[in-house]
Structure 1
């Protein structure tokens, strides 16, 4: 990767011996300790590490946005050019924020005002920092949206955040951050929640804008593929301390610390998944059969227009999963993956046939519904949102056993202890509440709850996407182990193609509510036949600076192709015909 334009010049941002504490003055605990680094014009410095390493706290300290009084800057200096930021009063900092130093957050919906149009928010930002007329501010706002490749920028000025996709909202955040041409742009996990194709577009956009404006970028991420693709240099943090720093290429060639080596070793890579043979239907009984699944939602209308057109979210999807098999369902946001999952577990109305263990779930009575809930469980993306915060972990895992009246009280307690041990949670875990666990531990707790009734099928909807790579690796290993022991079938829903390649037996690719391609794991990743599948795989950032993806756009029109029937191109490999 070529060095930045400003290499060798004075740093535009210099952080020296930064220490940040929480707990106030009575019981201070350092969450960032003695951190130092420099950032030069035109350079991208990646701040990498797992959750809790102090990355985001560092960014908030630089912006002067530490949550007070619990969190405070205990010592150190932060210099923006010749300006010492730690010595500035809040009023002076407000003038610098957004003007000379800007920030992009991970989730744009929490950063954008939902009741104001994106145009209004952009122009207000410009008017707050520039002595220009309202008309000139509007022109600058349209220019900023054009720069981040929002189509029909002038028209989209009137749009509200909820009317835009996740990728478009992230582009609006980038437009707001870059509208005033800041010296430094801090991007805190800007692509973690995005699909690989949208992520690729956002990374390309950041690179182009940096080249055009010479902006220095501090990129905070736990995705080592993004580090390899974007970084000139990398700083690795752990427990609030810098454990390693170096040029990106040198870092990926040889890590100087065991922690950095372990961090890279845990990264899932396409092509490195364990050899897996697809489970043939004639070898093992089918755990789940789905035929012609359709899900429609009523359209949103208005007072004057009445009902809107219905939304056809899932359009005739069919697949099956054998006992002990993992089928992954992949595709971009809005393709129908999660809607399919919700329909299977009874959280969305559907038409078509869903056959679980030989029993059709359609039109089932109360007893059939209760049995279905025993045999089909779900693990959600955010365990914190799906676990009752008022119940202890032990009560949460025991609750399904209580509802179904399984065993005596003492047997249920024994089952809970066994489940906690099985998913690697400590003996004291049953007495703790969800907020007392880390993200990875909460996901293990959600898995233990899903296993309580020993289901035949588990639907895992983006169940590891929010986890750090090392925690993700441990959860995936746990899922494989449990599958081999209990013969569970998994429907694994994800947009992370590297994770899918590492856990799947078979893969189905969805677009616009339809399946475009389905094949064994090896068939799909070694020989993807549909153009859309090829672009999905090509868009994945590679954790190797010497092997970078090509910058290619997705096939622009796929909906008509998706309507085509699937054709078997080789045994077990089905593809929608491409016109």
Structure 2
């Protein structure tokens, strides 16, 4: 058992599910599911997309979509069947006694209300507190999930926060009420490993203090191994296997469970990096800076500046995968957008030998042919009103390449390359699974035969088996087309399995860079070591050494106007392995 895991409580279960069947029309989405959940216990529900994990949690919460309903079974809580209760009786239970953290925070947070207003509303809806007391608890909840400048965040709107920060707001909202049962639906998918480690520690603290029972829905088997007491494995709406965590990992009985565990990316020693031939770089960055002004006060003057990217220099070589890792808000995605010409920058960026500065509209369009992006959420990147064949052919239409017949042939060929049937060209995005939609996005990125593809968290939301297939596809395409990738991720195990070279970013700057073997096999910067040490290990027998919990204010890239961040210099410690050395305090 992992160090610090609370033991499950004894006695009557706090929640019992008996023969639960959830259907849409006559088609069952979950069929005959039964389990008990004890106080202080963590039950993990795992399985691929469409297996019924999230539908089960929505049924427990009484939040099923209009056309979906529970057709059989019971959900017993405090001796009452939640499925039989009217909405008026469910309302005080939902959120206060049984809380839920959803995977996609932007759809759970109200975009027209500030973060503070939503936190205060959630607290006062279940506890009779004065507004000032509720606000103080909201600040404490944000600090507990390590959000920088918690007081200031209360006045911000969800769109002003990164995806990882929005997820932390949702977790803070649930933890503030100290529920009896907390359902976590992929709660750490959008979080980097260090914040994930802190959130998992927070969930354990909550269990120790209140005896809260957890239902953990996730595709991260490392998180399952570290957190769960018992596991339920689901496939096509049915439980195919269940039992104590140790026995499931050590001797899985079902072939489906064995396949899931085999697809989990695992950390090694960084060995086996593929040597990349020296050639003129596909992309060259020198002293790149990206900042954003923040206005405030009655006159809306610039008072602060976000130092998103600070003095970054790097090269991406032909045929290599260069990975950038770091926490949310460190500047990874901003740097990627600067390379793609999507945000203004200072310094020098060169793609395929052409500098981005001073480009005409025609020059910027040409750069788009050389650089393409694959985003984290494929559904948000695909127009739901267009057929997927038209979406893949759209870049060819924009650049005036080929006749309609030639574009159709090119699209069919791209579908072959990414492993999708040609007869699906006329379907719409909602008719595909998450992994298939990501393959469509990859096909669209390949349409213009780019030299560089930027993968911005492109596999973080996928199930482990789908993730393994997409990563294998990226490697196949790299070998076939000689592509270069800028691979942005917070999943260190995935990065170690796909990257040739790695750059570690912290507060907008590169603090360590080198080959995969150098960074993972011999990490030198304290931040790099902290990232690697925080990675969940998919082994229930692994004992994590106790580590000091972070305290104090979280460092922020937001500084007052006139104050610059501490600039670091990179020293070569051998073989091109560069590590940051501080040059001193903040400049003026």
TM-score normalised by structure 2 residue count? 0.90
Tell me by how many angstroms 1:171 deviates.
4.9
Measure the CA separation in 2 of the matches of 1:238 and 1:17. 16
Residue 241 (str. 1) matches residue 243 (str. 2): no
Deviations 1:106-127 (A, max 9, x none): 2344334455555654554454
Coordinate RMSD, CA, aligned: 2.8
Measure the CA separation in 1 of the matches of 2:79 and 2:386. 52
**Stretch deviating more after TM superposition (318-327 or 432-441):** 432-441
Residue 190 (str. 1) matches residue 192 (str. 2): no
Aligned residue number for residue 53 of structure 1: 51
Measure the CA separation in 1 of the matches of 2:580 and 2:123. 48
Measure the CA separation in 2 of the matches of 1:569 and 1:155. 41
Q: Are 2:141 and 2:175, in contact at CA under 8 Å, matched by a contact in 1?
A: no
**Local SS of the residue matching 1:243:** strand
Residue 79 (str. 1) matches residue 76 (str. 2): yes
Say if 1:376 and 1:428 are closer, same or farther in 2 by CA, change over 3 A.
Answer: same
Residue segments in structure 1 that go unaligned for 5+ positions in a row: none
**Local SS of the residue matching 1:65:** coil
Deviations 1:217-273 (A, max 9, x none): 111111111100100001111111111101111111111111111111111111187
Aligned residue number for residue 489 of structure 1: 484
**Local SS of the residue matching 2:383:** coil
Residue 515 (str. 1) matches residue 504 (str. 2): no
Measure the CA separation in 2 of the matches of 1:332 and 1:279. 27
Aligned residue number for residue 20 of structure 2: 18
TM-score normalised by structure 1 residue count? 0.91
Q: Are 1:285 and 1:323, in contact at CA under 8 Å, matched by a contact in 2?
A: yes
Measure the CA separation in 2 of the matches of 1:22 and 1:231. 30
**Local SS of the residue matching 2:458:** coil
Deviations 1:382-408 (A, max 9, x none): 222222333222222222223333344
Residue 343 (str. 1) matches residue 338 (str. 2): yes
Aligned residue number for residue 262 of structure 2: 265
Measure the CA separation in 2 of the matches of 1:109 and 1:366. 33
Q: Are 1:4 and 1:41, in contact at CA under 8 Å, matched by a contact in 2?
A: no
Measure the CA separation in 1 of the matches of 2:272 and 2:146. 42
Measure the CA separation in 1 of the matches of 2:283 and 2:321. 11
2:101 pairs, out of 104, 107, 113, with 104
Deviations 1:145-165 (A, max 9, x none): 389366899957954454766
Say if 1:405 and 1:220 are closer, same or farther in 2 by CA, change over 3 A.
Answer: same
Report how many aligned residue pairs link the two structures. Answer: 571
Measure the CA separation in 2 of the matches of 1:515 and 1:147. 26
Higher relative contact order, chain-length normalized (CA < 8 Å, sep 6+): 2
Deviations 1:323-378 (A, max 9, x none): 11110011111111111111111111122222222232322334433332222221
Residue segments in structure 2 that go unaligned for 5+ positions in a row: 558-563, 584-588
Measure the CA separation in 2 of the matches of 1:118 and 1:227. 30
Measure the CA separation in 2 of the matches of 1:563 and 1:373. 32
Deviations 1:3-34 (A, max 9, x none): 865544221111011000113xxxx2111111
Note the 1:170-319 alignment, pairs <5 A.
Answer: 170-271=167-268, 275-281=272-278, 284-319=279-314
**Local SS of the residue matching 1:570:** coil
**Local SS of the residue matching 1:73:** strand
